[in-house]
Amino acid sequence: MPKGYIIGHITVKHPEAYREYVERDTPILKRLGGTFIVRGGQSQVVEGTAHDRHVVIEFPSYAAALAAYNDPEYQEVAQIRHNTADSVILVVEGAE
């Protein structure tokens, strides 16, 4: 079964307030089976335009990734991100 991923492309508007999102989302997503593969770090746009920050979280399956994103506890914390950053979040199925 292919793994599932939550992929986020984010431009932080309020770094101090955004830090609370990072502190609170990490234990929730790890508890729900997520492993952070990419979280910030260096990046270079080689084609097109992109947000400033990129995050990839791996889950055992697409269903697990989708369930984690929709988890009520995570969605409560996601409101912090909504208020402190511009973001595009995708849930995708990995290649088999």
Interval 41-95: pLDDT, tens: 999 999 999 999 999 999 999 999 999 999 999 999 999 999 999 999 999 999 9
Structural domains of the chain sorted by starting position, each given as residue range(s) with its CATH number in brackets: 4-93 (3.30.70.100)
Interval 4-13: pLDDT, tens: 999 999 999 9
* pLDDT score at 96: 84
Q: What is the 3-state secondary structure (H, E, C) of the chain?
A: CCCEEEEEEEEECCHHHHHHHHHHHHHHHHHCCCEEEEECCCCCCCCCCCCCEEEEEEECCHHHHHHHHHCHHHHHHHHHHHHHEEEEEEEEECCC
* pLDDT score at 3: 98
